[in-house]
Amino acid sequence: MLSYVIDTSDVKVFVQRMALESDAATILFFIEARYHIQEIMVEVVEQLGGWAEGFPPDYQAHLIEQIVLNPPIVESPDNLVVDLNLLGTYEHYSMGFHRHAIGSDNQRIELPYTGQDLKYEESVRTEAFEDKVVGTFLYNDTIDDRVNMWRSMGVAPEWWVLQNGSPDEPYVEPTPLEELISSRLQERLTPIYNDAMQEAVNRADQGWGTTASGGKRHALRSPTSKGRFIKRS
């Protein structure tokens, strides 16, 4: 009877080393990726140029500030997710509506707006807003008030209006914000990830690296006693 013996021990050692090396490489990659994500998001918002016509500069500045302070990244052991909703939601955005409009109780609305009934119908309010507010210092005050409110809440829902546009004042054309961020991230991070993984393969292949190899770097082994573990107190 003829039989073949295939020795897979080398492969097993390599696979074990590779698992450890790829874990280490992933951690290092995530640290680097966070930096690039933050930088790319700031670049995209800074370089809007003629896009997002009507997007107020104060909204833009505050959005950048929030991205730098608190980048919208969720990290788990296996992946890194950019979730723009962490910057703020449409509900946060709508809290900036109707500053100083008259409520059904004849009191002026102050921000945050939380859904109170208003005294006048939309067409009357829109006309009054465009006649008396747009183009005056009151308009800038309104924008300032909104931004200050969002800043105090620790959110920047301006991204939402940039992404989806607004048919109301300030009228903003929608912009492919998510698409731009994701395509630029892919462009920049894919080669960095590939390099990191190739490096992990090389290290696993060579048998040296950041992880224990052959037990020589095992922290629990005493350098003076052979084959015995140190008794820990």
Q: Which residues bind other proteins (CB under 8 A)?
A: 50-51, 90, 94, 97-98, 115-118, 121-123, 126, 164-165, 167-169, 171, 173-176, 179-180, 183
Smallest gap from Cβ 152 to other proteins, in A, equals 21
Smallest gap from Cβ 174 to other proteins, in A, equals 5
What does each C-alpha distance from 191 to 28, 84, 101, 185 come to in angstroms? 14, 24, 53, 11
> What is d(CA 30, CA 32) in angstroms, rounded to the nearest whole number?
5
**Contacts of residue 34, Cβ cutoff 8 Å, sequence gap at least 6:** 71, 73, 75, 80
Smallest gap from Cβ 219 to other proteins, in A, equals 45
Smallest gap from Cβ 45 to other proteins, in A, equals 15
| CB closer to other proteins, 114 vs 152 | 114
> What is d(CA 132, CA 206) in angstroms, rounded to the nearest whole number?
74
- Map tokens 């809440």 to a residue: 153
User: Cβ atoms within 10 A of the Cβ of 47, count?
Assistant: 9
* DSSP code per residue over 26-44: HHHHHHHHHHHHHHHHHHH
| CB closer to other proteins, 92 vs 98 | 98
Smallest gap from Cβ 136 to other proteins, in A, equals 19
| CB closer to other proteins, 30 vs 51 | 51
One-letter amino acid at 190 equals T
| CB closer to other proteins, 174 vs 207 | 174
Element (H, E) at 68: helix 57-69
| CB closer to other proteins, 123 vs 224 | 123
